[in-house]
Amino acid sequence: MKITFISVGKIKESFYTKQIEGHIKNIKKYAQVQVIEVPDEKCPEKLSDKEMIQVKDKEGERILSKINSGDFVIALAIEGKIISTDDFKLLIKKKQASSLVFIIGGSLGLSDKVLKRSNYKLSFSRLTFPHQLMKVLLTEQVHMVVK
């Protein structure tokens, strides 16, 4: 199995990066893993709607450039499908022959293009999380289902 994690921006908090590293190390026992962090755009508090779309589009292009045409892309989106760990496990199992790509957007979320390219929109919760915490949660969950 091949799993790629793509996220936007660097994570500063070491208590998060160390947890992610730990989970990735565990997932590597079961799959070939690639972790990609694409740069984020500067994002001041007050942005117009148009500027927000521009930020998401720029980040989106960087994400899309890392995706191959045959990849099965799972985008993390708050409006996505909420499923149990058992169902998540079934989904991953069904797709284990493909190259799986998980995408976590930046602080404004994912561009329409990225959402359109994705094969599955997954949501962990109706809560809004910092994307750093989202990455910890995702890698922990993936470890739980691949082991």
Partner 1 sequence: MNIKVYAIGMVKDKNQLEAIKEYDKRLGRYCKIEMILVKNKEVLLKKLSNKSYVIKVSTQGELFTSEGLAEKVKTLGVTGTSDMAFIYSEEHLEWDDHLALSKMDMSLGMAMTILFEQIYRGYRIIHNQAYHK
Residues that bind partner 1 (CB under 8 A): 13-16, 18-19, 22, 45, 82-85, 88, 107-109, 124-131, 133, 136-137, 140-141, 144
3-state secondary structure of 60: helix
Residue 45: burial class (beta carbons within 10 Å; 0-12, 13-18, 19+): exposed
Separation of alpha carbons 15 and 53, rounded Å:
31
Alpha carbon dihedral 143, 129, 98, 31, in 10-degree steps, equals -20
Question: Smaller CB distance to partner 1: residue 73 or 91?
Answer: 91
Question: Smaller CB distance to partner 1: residue 18 or 32?
Answer: 18
Question: Smaller CB distance to partner 1: residue 50 or 126?
Answer: 126
Minimum Å distance from CB 40 to partner 1? 11
3-state secondary structure of 11: coil
Question: Smaller CB distance to partner 1: residue 16 or 30?
Answer: 16
Minimum Å distance from CB 70 to partner 1? 27
Minimum Å distance from CB 69 to partner 1? 30
Separation of alpha carbons 41 and 109, rounded Å:
12
Minimum Å distance from CB 138 to partner 1? 10
Strand 99-104 versus strand 32-38 pairing type: unpaired
Minimum Å distance from CB 107 to partner 1? 5
Question: Smaller CB distance to partner 1: residue 68 or 84?
Answer: 84
Separation of alpha carbons 145 and 129, rounded Å:
21
